[in-house]
Amino acid sequence: LQIFKDEVITKYPKKVGKKRAKSIILSDIEQTPEIQANVRTIPGIITQRGCTYAGCKGVVLGPTRDIVNITHGPIGCGFYSWLTRRNQTKPTTDEEANFIPYCFSTDMQDKNIVFGGEDKLKQAIREAYELFHPKAIAIFSTCPVGLIGDDVHRVARHMMEEIGGDINIFGFSCEGYRGVSQSAGHHIANNGLFKNLIGRDDEVRGSLKYRVNLLGEYNIGGDAFELERVFEKCGINLVSTFSGNSTIESFENAHTADLNMVMCHRSINYVAEMMETAFGIPWIKVQPIGARSTAKMLRKIAQYFGDQELIDKVEEVVAEEMAEVEAVREKIYSKTKGKLSMLFVGGSRAHHYQDLFEELGMTTIAAGYEFGHRDDYEGRRVIPTIQIDADSRNIEEITVTKDATRYNPRKTESELQELNKELEFTEYKGIMDQMEKGTLVIDDLSHYEMEKLIEMYHPDVFCAGIKEKFCVQKMGIPLKQLHNYDVGGPYAGFKGAINFYKDIEMMVGANIWKEIKAPWESDAYVEAQYAC
Ligand code: CFM
Ligand code: HCA
């Protein structure tokens, strides 16, 4: 795999090659090498990345069903983030609000760019309120909003006064260009959640026992539904999920839980940290992608609460669910064993899905994030050594202190210390901890590097997103979208693992890919006709 690195680097202009070399790393578990991450993409390179607005609106706030999320900007921004992520939701009654199927946008025109768009935004809020009477309205800034200086926060305050009553209106300065990727948008969204929603409702609903939050789960392809099923079966009380299948009430109530579980570290670690400081809720990293990892998560929860009743129930559920999973896995294993996978996705799935491939006996020979930070690669222990650059400084840091009335340590210091040996509070070891020595870890993979990887190593499956999908398939390699799961899912939890095994078996076992020849491979001239 070193040959890949050398070949790619020498092809680039010298300066570019030097910079890319710092983001293309050969894994070595024993002495985790440093990787360059969360820096600007080099202009001219085709990146997989998206923008800050996408991370804030599309990713973190988008899945909450009863907030009217208004995109202040040109229609394309709202349209692009309109359900393409396949984030699902299920209101508990027919009367409950559900705005997920709608796409709210101010549809900014040239006129608004020249003369300002605040009036149009106010009008959009009025209209949304009159039509839907939502409990909350959120405003998301796109690039032109920042460039012309519209103040979405002032508009939010103004409209709260105008409408009056209980309505909560808040804005996000998540202009697309504000950070180097979606990642800045996550941070901005987390700050907004904390300032505007978390901790506003002290009523303790449901059972007092085993109260947890799941952070960084977005119900893509129904993942949250499967996890909710598993928690319910175990008698674990899921107070809130950030933000798959979520509601405003669940966010406002989240501080009544006793444990935070972080699934996608990249997008939500800020909320976990802030809630620990303000309310005294400890957090652990969990990984419910993969059947064995799901069982591990459940056992961790049981150990945290330390109640024999829960410990026994979890063992019973794991035994029952794993029997079903293993029966399917055993049938499939001989067809997937020894196959090669490559994963280049977002900021956490390139890591999480390696567990599912391991369960299938497959090896991940190259993986990386679009926008992970060094801690997502090397582990959180490197956080103090990460240099803060101008792009990171551009994102608001909010100061959080102990909440005067709600701070309540869930465990004593010595209890935490004892549990820490197994549970590893506030810890994430990153993707490099899992990857075999000598495999490739690449940050912000370029299109050229992707083509080279395929040409040189012919993986049996390549995992990425829609921009890569058809290019890769034209090269004769099946591509699994690990963002929206194509049309599949859920893939989380036990039933999700079964779905994944079956989908991957189909993909790596299909001979069709070897038969595919692009038309230009046999004839360089391709005739085409316009159909009128
Ligand atoms: Fe977290 Fe996500 Fe991901 Fe992400 Fe995303 Fe996503 Fe993703 Mo697409 S929050 S980092 S910004 S797990 S939308 S649900 S699939 S890139 S790997
Ligand atoms: C986003 C959303 C995305 C895009 C996926 C893709 C998603 O980053 O704006 O490129 O296919 O999961 O839908 O990550």
Phi, psi of 382 (to 5 degrees): -85, -5
Cα–Cα nearest to 428, from 267, 256, 306, 301:
267
Angle subtended at Cα 143 by Cα 141 and Cα 146, rounded to the nearest 5 degrees: 70
Ligand 2 close to Cβ of residue 470 (< 6 A): no
Q: How many angstroms is it from 49 CA to the middle of ligand 2?
A: 8
The Cα-based distances of 7 to 12, 25, 343 in angstroms read 9, 14, 20
Question: Are the beta carbons of 491 and 499 closer than 8 angstroms?
Answer: yes
What ipTM was predicted for this assembly?
0.98
Is 353:482 a contact under the CB 8 Å cutoff? Answer: yes
Separation of CA 56 and ligand 2 centre (Å): 12
Active site residue 186: yes
Q: What is the dihedral of CA 378, 53, 246, 108, to 10 degrees?
A: -170
Ligand with the closest atom to the CA of 50: 2
Say yes or no: CB of residue 348 within 6 Å of ligand 2: no
Q: Indicate if ligand 2 lies below 6 Å from the C-beta of 50.
A: yes
What tokens were used for 413?
A: 């210091």
- Nearest ligand to the CA of 186 is 1
Ligand 1 closest atom vs CA 350: 17
- 85 labelled catalytic: yes
| Residue 58 φ/ψ, nearest 5 degrees | -65, -45
Is the pTM here over 0.80, yes or no? yes
Separation CA 431–CA 349 (nearest Å): 10
Q: What single DSSP character describes residue 178?
A: S
**Which atom of ligand 2 is least distant from the CA of 466?**
11
Which amino acid, residue 448? Y
**pLDDT 10s digit of each residue in the chain, 532 long?**
889 999 999 999 999 999 999 999 999 999 999 999 999 999 999 999 999 999 999 999 999 999 999 999 999 999 999 999 999 999 999 999 999 999 999 999 999 999 999 999 999 999 999 999 999 999 999 999 999 999 999 999 999 999 999 999 999 999 999 999 999 999 999 999 999 999 999 999 999 999 999 999 999 999 999 999 999 999 999 999 999 999 999 999 999 999 999 999 999 999 999 999 999 999 999 999 999 999 999 999 999 999 999 999 999 999 999 999 999 999 999 999 999 999 999 999 999 999 999 999 999 999 999 999 999 999 999 999 999 999 999 999 999 999 999 999 999 999 999 999 999 999 999 999 999 999 999 999 999 999 999 999 999 999 999 999 999 998 999 999 999 999 999 999 999 999 999 999 999 999 888 787 777 777 777 677 776 6
Q: Of 362, 367, 363, 365, nearest to 350 (Cα)?
A: 367
Instruction: Find the helix or strand (DSSP H, E) in which 133 lies.
Output: none
Residue 57, token pair as written in the block: 């609106």
- Annotated catalytic residue, options 20, 49, 51, 189: 51
Alpha helices (H) in 235-348, listed in sequence order: 248-253, 265-279, 291-305, 308-336
CA 48 to ligand 2: nearest atom? 10
